[in-house]
Structure 1
Amino acid sequence: MTTRQELLSHFDALLQPERFKDYGPNGLQVEGRPEIHRIVSGVTASRALIDAAIRQEADAIFVHHGLFWRGMDGRVTGWMKQRLQRLLAHDINLFAYHLPLDAHPELGNNAQLGRVLGWQADQRFGDQELGFAAHADFAGAADLAAHVQAVLGRSVTLADPEDARPIRRVAWCTGGAQGFFEAAIAAGADAFLTGEISEPQAHLARETGVAFIAAGHHATERYGAPAVAAHVAAQLGLSHEFIEIDNPA
């Protein structure tokens, strides 16, 4: 058993949210019971995850995507009411860390995605150094895309360059980081991997010779939260379980 404040202090010390300019509040988003025995982790604080945490009798939930974002409607109605109602009725703490969880050099989303795909980052790039890059060895973009698809267990979108070339440097940034593509190109990548693709990236891939792979927002961000929660739970002697809520995004 530990206290809510001690758990928060461990998360903050590990992830250092004060270093980041983010889109919403990092840390404790919903206050629950003061004593913590069991943590559930997940990607998003959805109703499905909250209901699963209730069934597991969790005292705290740790996620990447919390409930509150800059510029959102502040009224507590509809889906927001349903999520908050469940958390408050069952006295469950909600901890959420967005960019700090992406950026952690060992346990974060980018580091853990690299681990899963077999890459050890040796370079950081982009805004707030959220992008990671590493040596790779693939005959071409199609081989890289096939590797990612096999490891993550889902189809990917490949924007293939007109001039095919071997992949010797791969860059990545999980989630909705398609805006990092130009920074990845400038950093010397032969291919860039993220979760989503927007209209401009296909043209840039064709014109620059750098491949672009969109492998799913959720699919690329499902490794950091359980890694961090398991690490802190082990430090504090707490029970931890990661709950996967399927998401096609």
Structure 2
Amino acid sequence: MTWFQAIVLGIVQGLTEFLPISSSAHIRIVSELWFGGDAGASFTAVIQLGTETAVIIYFAKDIGRLLKAWFVGLFRASARSDPNYRLAWYVIIGSAPIAVLGYVFKDAIRSGLRNLWITAIVLMVFAVVLAVADELGKQARDSLTMKDSVFMGLAQAMALVPGVSRSGGTLTAGLFLGLNREAATRYSFLLAIPAVFGAGLFSIPDVLDRSGPGPQADVAQTIVATAVSFAVGYACVAWLLRYVSKHNFMLFVWYRIVLGAVLCGLLATGVVSPT
């Protein structure tokens, strides 16, 4: 991998991580179209540490309150009525499905599921699902329940397939459950932190092993790509929260459909290889 490739992929990661359009799909597509090979699931997982660091800094006060309430509640029963204590548990519980399934299906995630035909079809199918959720969801609540955390956690786990979108899956589930767009988006950000940090740290040894196919990044390039994704991702967090307060998700729905259709055309004509 060249320095230019590392920087471009860092920008792509930062721009797409929090939008419901699948950052892993975009890394997969861009690395294949521009650089002639798959940058790999491990590289993708590691540079996501940059965007999740952006979330931690942006929501530092909220995260601090959650951690404080959780630790206090562990040792003091009277503190367990605090909404922040419950929300902290919801984040922990919601993170479990993607951790378990990511470990069990690790090999498939890093190989077969990265087929670009799967990515293209999934982009379009889940665009329709998001559109239905955005149209039919009651959007009547701004507080979460245990049921919300379980269903949104399962939805996040579907993002192990490139094209689903981690944020798109959780947002879609939240809308179907009756949460408003802002509440679903905020919980989506918080829910991502344990899952993405876990996957990123778990994948560091694989990135250090540069024997795989495709454009392999060295340590310095991976660090730079991660730093770039942090800077771009921080700006995207602020933008998305403002956007969802006034708009629906149809912009992202149509973008996914167009991208998936174009990718199908490129695959069908042999311009790009699916693997």
Task: Give the TM-score taking structure 1 as reference length.
Answer: 0.22
Greater share of strand: 1
Greater share of helix: 2
Larger RCO (CA under 8 A, 6+ residues apart)? 2
Task: Give the TM-score taking structure 2 as reference length.
Answer: 0.21
